[in-house]
Structure 1
Amino acid sequence: MTIKSLATLISAGTVLAVSTVSALAGPLADRIEAGEPIRIGFSNIPVFGYPDENGEPKGFANEIALGILAEMGLTNVEGIVTDWGGLIPGLMANRYDIITGGQYILGARCENVSFSEPIAQTGDAFLVPAGNPQNLTNYQDILNNPETILAMYAGGNHVDAARREGLGDAQMMQLPGPSEALAALRAGRADAAALTSFEAFYMADRSDGLFVATDPAALPEWTLNWVGIGFRDADADFLAQFNAAHARYMGSDEMMAAMQQYGYVDANLPGDTTTEWACANR
Structure 2
Amino acid sequence: MSTLLGTAIAVEARKARGARVMLWITVALLGGLGALTVGMRLGAASGDAQVLAKLGPLADVEGWAGLVGVVVQITAAGGLLAFGVALSWIFGREFADGTVTGLFALPVRRSAIAIAKLVVFLGWAVGVAVLATSVIAAVGLLLGYADTDAAGAAELVRVPVLVLLTALIATPAALAASLGRGLLPGIAATVGTIVLAQVMAVIGVGEWVPFVTPALWAIAPSTVSPAALVAVLSVPLVFGALTTLVWARLQLDR
Do both share a fold (TM > 0.5)? no
For Structure 1 versus Structure 2, the TM-score category normalised by the shorter chain is: under 0.3
Structure 1-normalised TM-score? Answer: 0.24
Structure 2-normalised TM-score? Answer: 0.26
Larger fraction in helix = 2
